[in-house]
Amino acid sequence: MRVPHTIPCNTYQVYHPSDTTENLQGEVNRTLRSEDVTWDKNIPSTLVTLCVQSLVSNFKDKQALQLLPDEDRCLLLETLPIDLPLIITVPLLEDGIYWKRCSQIRWQSLNDVRDYEGSWKRLYLERHLQEYIENLAPEDFVHSEVESLVHLCSSYVKRLNILQLQAPQPPTFLGSNGYEWPTEIVSVDHINLEPFIKGLVCLEELHIMFGVRQCGMNFAWILFKFSAMDCLNIGMGLNSAKCMKTLRIHRSTLDDTLVTILLQHMVKNTTITRVDFSHCNIGDNGALAIGKLLIFQPTLKELVLCNNKIGAAGASGLASALTHRSSPLKLLDLRLNVIGNQGVTDLCSVLTNSEHLQALILVSCGFTEQAAIKIGHMLQQNTSLQALDVSNNYLGEVGGEALSLGIKDNTTLLKLDHRMTGITKECESSINMSLKHNIDRYKRKQRELAEATGNNDEE
Amino acid sequence: MEENANEEGASELQITSLGPNERKLARRLRIKKRLQKANQQQQLNGCQELEVDIKTMLEIQLQISEDQLERLLLDGKELITNVQVANDAREVKRRKDEVATREKRLERLEDQANESVEKFNVVNSRWKIFLESNDPLDLHRDMEEQKVKCAELISQKDKLIKELKTELRLADERFEKDQEKQKEDLWLVTERIDNQVKVMRKAYKDELKLIEEVIALEHKQLMEVSEKKWEALYKKHEKLEVEHMEKKFQTVDEYEDEIYKVAVEHHEKLREVKIKLESDIQVLQQELELVKGQCLMNSEKLVYNFQVLKRREEENLIVRAKQKRRINRLQDVVNNLKKKIAETEESTETESARLTEEVMRLQHNILDIEKKADHFAEVNDRKYQQVWELNRDTAKTVLDKVLDIDRILHEHQLGLEWTHPDVSLLRLEDLASYRCAMQVIADLFPEKGTQGKNDELKSVGLTVRNEDMEKLHAKERLLQNILKLVADNSDFLVEQKLNELLGPHTDKKKMLIKIDNVFTALGINTEAEIMMLKKCFLPYAKCSVCSTSVEEKMTTTFRSSHESIGSASTAGDTETAEAGMIFDTSIVKFGVDPAKAEQLLKDMDITAIEATSTPVKSIAGAKAKLHLTHSKPGCSETLPLFIDPVYVFKALRDFAVKFAPKEHSLHTNLKSVKHSTVSRLLSTQDVTAFWTRFRKIFSQQREKLWDGLLIGLQMYHRILEDRHKLNVDTVQLKRQNAELRRLLHFYIQNPEDESVFLSSWEHLPPISRNYRHKKSKMKFSKATSKERGRAIL
């Protein structure tokens, strides 16, 4: 018996009798079994079913979907072959069992539809597009093909997580026995991402990793390089993107010049709220360019520059950008950037008056007690910061005391990570006490707020 | 148990962390106290506060759970992030080391480079000396030296490279180690996450269980409290019910007693009333029976009556319907007849007009035809006479011829003496019928002569009458009265329908038509007839003024009056033009005999005498005086004569009796005169007699004699004919013979000249084969010709 997909599996399980029930005296010799789901195995399928089957086999030629009653449409969608061209299926079939089947057959893992707002269609199309981009060699790039595909997927794709981009094949390959690469500079342009970014009007998140995964023994640094042209294309694309919220270029050889080019071209975009350039090669100049972006980009709320090569100068630049009232930055991640005491001091001087920044991550930033004292002072003054991470910086006892002193007068800080900082236990406990105090207060406030809104609602 | 568990929980909490847990404990104790209090208050107050307390209990439990879970989460997170932090720390350390080693390496490389540059410079500087010196041995030695130095340099570099390679290998090893470390870290992280998940799941489950237990407890407590409450209420209710029941029973008993009493009383009363009523009922039933009987009777009567009436009504209805139908039908008939009458009237009018015209035409035709007939008769007569004359002459000539022949026969053939037979032929005047006819014709001529006389008389009469007419106008009223009387009293002669039709017409018209009708009914068409009618009326007429006078005078008066009426009616003919016309035409048509005309004239005179009654005296006053002696001088002429309506019928009957035979006589007079001529008037006997006389002149013997003579002469004639024939033949044969002799003579003179005779034979084409035959033939022909010639001879 065919159980349509609209009936959840749990129903089937619920209706299935337990072993003890089945072995009851009255049950064993029972002839009428309404719960038997295999009763029609030997009965020839109905004409309706046959019709639907033939429709399925001829779906490429004739899409008689809207004419069918719901029940038969169900059956049709459950039996449609998944290798139908997208050009037929995307406009015709709505989100549902078909796309679920497609996704589950194509990929064995990571089919969590909750990450895609419960839409199997979006899941399928996003992952399909991702794979297409990841495996598209620059030589195979055909503009029309890409455009048609992008046009098909445009209204469904919201997130693109590109984990690799095929590098262009070198014009001359010296062979397997020679490990030498041609010395002349070869083009490292990847495929043009602009049509994708432009075409996908609903795109909200863009994650790009320049580089080739699983290159094996063909490893070469050149595989991980990318050109100013690539940055230019991305920037141009972002300029016209209407919904873009998150830009993430990570684990790439993004250096100062490239980031400058990229940022220059995406200045016009006014929708991006989160920029993530973690694990790149951005230096002080790049940081300054990002600082400029902060000034011109009033919507940017989160900036992640984790594991870059930003020094004190870059940090100072960022700090000076934060002074501008137009930048309502809420999160600043400078993990694994050795900005030193000078950089932290500059940041702290800014944060004393800042009203926006809520989270600051300064993990492994190479600062010491001096900067810790500044942080302590800053904390006394600041009223917006909620989370601060200073772990992996040697602060010592002095720094710890400074922090604990600073946090005692603070009322907003909810989290302070102070691991691997070499502060004393006393300081730790006092800091924890203060944090707890703040958390309690925060919760109370939240509850009151919720009650107030609840009362308002009741009223 | 739950509380103990909570206590245990509290104590555990107290052990683990200080501040908040102490607070929680304190709060929980307070709650416990409050719960106890609430339990005490429960029975007293109600459930309001209880609910509040229970709510707080649940809230507290939730709070505890939340805190605990939060703590667990925090711990787990810290545990997991510890790996990251450690990793970061390692990374920092690695970077530091790397920076240090790189600096060292760079330093060393620089030193090495400097050293090698120095060496290179040394080597390089030697090349200049080489160029200067020319000694090959020296050169060789120096070259060797240079070579050694270079080798040194190279080896140094090689060493450096080797060192760097080892370093690289070491770095690779480190990288591998780092990778392994990373793997371990990842494993650790996953393990920790798994642990965390497990722990959290367990914690959540426990908390959920705790919360559920608390809820169950609350529920149980609530149930108990409400149960107790309900029980109390039930008890109270039961008590009240019992009280009510008792009260009810009492009242019911009382009521039952009362009911019994009332019932007994009621029964007694009932019985009495019943008996009384039953007797009443009996009486009433008897009455009812009577009434019923009457009712039945009445009803049957009524039914009968009703039925009778109904039947009658039905009959009436039927009759009425019938009548209605009949009326309708009759109405239709009336309408149809009216229409028909109108049509027939119209048609008759046209018909009469047509007929009069026809009559006129026919009369003209008759006159013409008569004229023609006369003419033809005359012509016929003449012709007849001519034919007669012719026939007689021819007969006479034939007779003479016969006589002549007879005489010749007698004298020449027979040699007898011929005696002239007795010829006694008739003449036309001898015939009786001719004489009669001549007589008739002679009679006819004088008749024609009188006709012209009559015309003269008529014209005179008309003039007289015209003169009279003017004088008689005054008498019209009297006449009208009389006619009116006739009209009024002779309805039986008039069709009823006419009366109806005459309804809307004026009296005058009515009367006219009625009189017309009466006259037609009586068959009165001519003036004379009207006159007769008046005569019949005369005896009954009387003067209105002198009605009282003696009877003997009446007759004369009547006569005079009648005459006056007659004249009046004659004069009245101007009104009734038709009658007048008929009268005139009758006069014109049937040439009235002189006597009749005279009578008419006399009548006219009488009317003229009557006219003297008018103030103006008429011209014929002399004659009138003779009659006036008869008339009553006492009776004023101006007074009209009256006829009693009673006598009208009598008069009419008299008239009818008198009129009937007269009519026949009238008709006989109307015969037409035949156009008699001599030819027509001659009788056939006379004619045959006349002609047979011719035939009978010769006797039978003489005829026989002629017959015999005829036969003999015929025979003689035949012999003569034969002789004549033979004569002719001999003459012919003589001529032939002469001719043949001539021919023979000719042949004898020139016999060779056969060609003259046989040219036809000779000129035939020669036939070689049959030449002989031809010759024989020729011979034969010659023979035949000879024979012929002989035969001719």
Asked if B99 has any chain A CB less than 8 Å from its own CB, the reply is: no
What tokens does B195 get?
């642990």
Q: How close is the nearest chain B Cα to the Cα of A74, in Å?
A: 38
- The candidate with the shortest Cα–Cα distance to B564, out of B529, B603, B525, is B603
Contact A58, A88 (CB under 8 A): no
- What pLDDT is attached to residue B449? 43
φ and ψ of B764, to 5 deg: -75, 150
- What pLDDT is attached to residue B299? 92
**10 Å Cβ neighbour count for B488?**
13
Which residues of B fall within a CB distance of 8 Å from A419? 81-82, 85
pLDDT digits (tens, 9 = 90+) for A9-64: 888 788 887 888 888 888 778 878 777 778 888 888 889 889 989 989 988 888 88
Burial class (CB in 10 A: 0-12, 13-18, 19+), B220: exposed
Which residues of B fall within a CB distance of 8 Å from A417? 81, 85
DSSP code of residue B413: I
- What pLDDT is attached to residue B277? 94
Which residues of A fall within a CB distance of 8 Å from B172? none
Rg (CA), chain A: 29
- What pLDDT is attached to residue B241? 95
pLDDT digits (tens, 9 = 90+) for B588-625: 444 444 444 445 545 544 444 444 444 334 333 433 34
Asked if B88 has any chain A CB less than 8 Å from its own CB, the reply is: yes
Q: Which of A310, A364, A421 to mutate to test the interface with B (most CBs of B within 10 A)?
A: A364
Which residues of A fall within a CB distance of 8 Å from B86? 420
Asked if B98 has any chain A CB less than 8 Å from its own CB, the reply is: no
- Rounded Cα gap, residues B697 and A241, in angstroms: 176
Q: Which of A279, A338, A419 to mutate to test the interface with B (most CBs of B within 10 A)?
A: A419
Question: Does residue B697 sit in helix, strand or coil?
Answer: coil
Which amino acid appears at position B553 of this protein?
K
Asked if A419 has any chain B CB less than 8 Å from its own CB, the reply is: yes
* Closest CB from A338, A363, A433 relative to B88: A363
- The candidate with the shortest Cα–Cα distance to A116, out of A1, A210, A202, A238, is A202
Q: Is the dihedral of CA A372, A377, A383, A384 positive or negative?
A: negative
Residue whose tokens read 């009189």: B515
Query: Domain limits of chain A?
Result: 282-459
Task: Tell me how far CA of residue A452 lies from CA of B524, B552, B608, in angstroms.
Answer: 144, 161, 156
Query: Domain limits of chain B?
Result: 71-414, 700-748
List Cβ neighbours of A264 (8 Å cut-off, separation of 6 or more).
A235, A289
Closest alpha carbon within chain A to B74: A415
- The candidate with the shortest Cα–Cα distance to B539, out of B519, B520, B562, is B562
Q: Would you mind telling me the total number of residues written for chain A in this entry?
A: 459
- The candidate with the shortest Cα–Cα distance to A125, out of A105, A150, A88, A142, is A150
- Rounded Cα gap, residues A154 and A199, in angstroms: 6
Q: Which CATH architecture has domain A282-459?
A: Alpha-Beta Horseshoe (3.80)
List Cβ neighbours of A415 (8 Å cut-off, separation of 6 or more).
A386, A387, A388, A389, A435
Contact B682, B434 (CB under 8 A): yes
Q: Under the phi-then-psi rule, with left for phi > 0, alpha for psi from -120 to 50, and beta for the rest, what region is B522?
A: alpha
- What pLDDT is attached to residue A22? 81
Q: Under the phi-then-psi rule, with left for phi > 0, alpha for psi from -120 to 50, and beta for the rest, what region is A255?
A: beta
- Rounded Cα gap, residues A103 and A113, in angstroms: 10
- Angle among Cα A236, A248, A383 to the nearest 5 degrees reads 115
Q: Which of residues 286-305 of A touch B (CB under 8 A)?
A: none
**10 Å Cβ neighbour count for B570?**
23
Residue whose tokens read 């290998």: B169
Question: Does residue B642 sit in helix, strand or coil?
Answer: strand
For residue B641, what are the β-bridge partners?
Answer: B543
Question: Hey, are the CB atoms on B92 and A335 less than 8 Å from each other?
Answer: no
Q: At what angle do helices B19-44 and A425-458 cross, to 10 degrees?
A: 40
Question: Hey, are the CB atoms on B89 and A420 less than 8 Å from each other?
Answer: yes
pLDDT string in tens for chain A (459-residue length)? 777 888 888 887 888 878 888 888 887 788 787 777 788 888 888 898 899 899 899 888 888 888 888 888 888 888 888 888 888 888 888 888 899 999 999 998 888 888 888 899 999 999 999 999 999 888 888 889 999 999 999 889 999 999 998 888 765 544 444 444 444 556 778 888 888 888 888 899 999 998 888 887 888 888 888 888 889 889 888 888 888 899 999 988 888 999 999 988 888 888 889 999 999 999 999 999 998 888 888 888 899 999 999 999 999 998 888 888 677 889 999 989 989 899 999 989 888 888 888 899 998 888 888 888 999 889 888 888 899 998 888 888 888 888 888 888 888 889 888 888 888 888 889 998 999 899 989 988 998 999 888 777 665
Asked if B18 has any chain A CB less than 8 Å from its own CB, the reply is: no
b (16+ CB within 10 A) / e for B91-107: bbeeeeeeeeeeeeeee
Q: How close is the nearest chain B Cα to the Cα of A392, in Å?
A: 5
Q: How close is the nearest chain B Cα to the Cα of A164, in Å?
A: 21
Asked if B430 has any chain A CB less than 8 Å from its own CB, the reply is: no
Q: How close is the nearest chain B Cα to the Cα of A384, in Å?
A: 22
What tokens does B388 get?
């007669």
Contact A186, A143 (CB under 8 A): no
Question: Hey, are the CB atoms on B81 and A392 less than 8 Å from each other?
Answer: no
Question: Hey, are the CB atoms on A364 and B88 less than 8 Å from each other?
Answer: yes
Q: Under the phi-then-psi rule, with left for phi > 0, alpha for psi from -120 to 50, and beta for the rest, what region is B523?
A: left
**In this predicted complex, what is the ipTM?**
0.79
Residue whose tokens read 């050009």: A87
- What pLDDT is attached to residue B91? 87
What tokens does A105 get?
């057959």
List Cβ neighbours of B462 (8 Å cut-off, separation of 6 or more).
none
DSSP code of residue B475: G
* Closest CB from B19, B20, B92 relative to A392: B92
- What pLDDT is attached to residue B392? 84
- Angle among Cα A170, A176, A181 to the nearest 5 degrees reads 40
List Cβ neighbours of B9 (8 Å cut-off, separation of 6 or more).
B64
Asked if A391 has any chain B CB less than 8 Å from its own CB, the reply is: yes
* Cα–chain center distance at B389: 85
Q: How close is the nearest chain B Cα to the Cα of A447, in Å?
A: 12
Which residues of B fall within a CB distance of 8 Å from A363? 85, 88
Contact B557, B635 (CB under 8 A): yes
- The candidate with the shortest Cα–Cα distance to B34, out of B14, B19, B45, B49, is B49
pLDDT along chain B (793 residues), means of 10: 41 48 71 75 53 66 88 89 87 89 91 89 82 80 86 90 92 92 92 93 92 91 94 96 95 95 94 94 94 93 93 93 92 92 90 90 91 87 86 86 83 75 68 74 57 45 51 59 69 66 68 75 69 68 51 45 45 40 41 46 47 39 40 43 67 70 46 58 77 77 85 92 94 94 88 56 49 50 52 49
Task: Tell me how far CA of residue A356 lies from CA of A323, A385, A387, A459, in angstroms.
Answer: 10, 8, 12, 33
Asked if A420 has any chain B CB less than 8 Å from its own CB, the reply is: yes
- The candidate with the shortest Cα–Cα distance to A152, out of A172, A124, A171, is A124
- What pLDDT is attached to residue A459? 55
- Rounded Cα gap, residues A37 and A24, in angstroms: 20
* Cα–chain center distance at B2: 109
Three-class secondary structure assignment of chain A: CCCCCCCCHHHHHHHCCCHHHHCCHHHHCCCCCCCCCCCCCCCCCCHHHHHHHHHHHCCCCCCCCCCCCHHHHHHHHHHCCCCCCHHHHHHHCCCCHHHHHHHHHHCCCCCCHHHHCCCHHHHHHHHHHHHHHHCCCHHHCCHHHHHHHHHHHCCCCCEEEECCCCCCCCCCCCCCCCCCCCCCCCCCCCCCCHHHHHHCCCCCEEEECCCCCCCHHHCCHHHHCCCHHHHHHHHHHHHHCCCCCEEEECCCCCEHHHHHHHHHHCCCCCCCCEEECCCCECCHHHHHHHHHHHHHCCCCCEEECCCCCCCHHHHHHHHHHHHCCCCCCCEEECCCCCCHHHHHHHHHHHHCCCCCCCEEECCCCCCCHHHHHHHHHHHHHCCCCCEEECCCCCCHHHHHHHHHHHHHHCCCCCEEECCCCCCCHHHHHHHHHHHHHHHHHHHHHHHHHHHHHHHHHHC
Question: Hey, are the CB atoms on A391 and B85 less than 8 Å from each other?
Answer: yes
- Rounded Cα gap, residues B611 and B637, in angstroms: 10
DSSP code of residue B546: G
* Cα–chain center distance at B701: 101
Asked if B270 has any chain A CB less than 8 Å from its own CB, the reply is: no
List Cβ neighbours of A297 (8 Å cut-off, separation of 6 or more).
A267, A269, A270, A272, A327
Q: How close is the nearest chain B Cα to the Cα of A364, in Å?
A: 7
- Rounded Cα gap, residues B62 and B335, in angstroms: 121
B667-676 contacts at long range (C-beta below 8 A, 24 or more positions apart): B669/B590, B670/B590, B673/B447, B675/B370, B675/B373, B675/B374, B675/B377, B676/B377, B676/B437, B676/B440, B676/B441, B676/B444
Q: Which of B63, B88, B91 to mutate to test the interface with A (most CBs of A within 10 A)?
A: B88
- CB-defined contacts A:B, below 8 A: 30
Which residues of B fall within a CB distance of 8 Å from A420? 85-86, 88-89
**10 Å Cβ neighbour count for A423?**
24
* Closest CB from B19, B20, B85 relative to A420: B85
Question: Hey, are the CB atoms on B82 and A419 less than 8 Å from each other?
Answer: yes
- What pLDDT is attached to residue B769? 53
b (16+ CB within 10 A) / e for B599-630: ebbebbbbbbbbbbbbeeebebeebbeebeee
Q: How close is the nearest chain B Cα to the Cα of A112, in Å?
A: 18
Question: Does residue B620 sit in helix, strand or coil?
Answer: coil
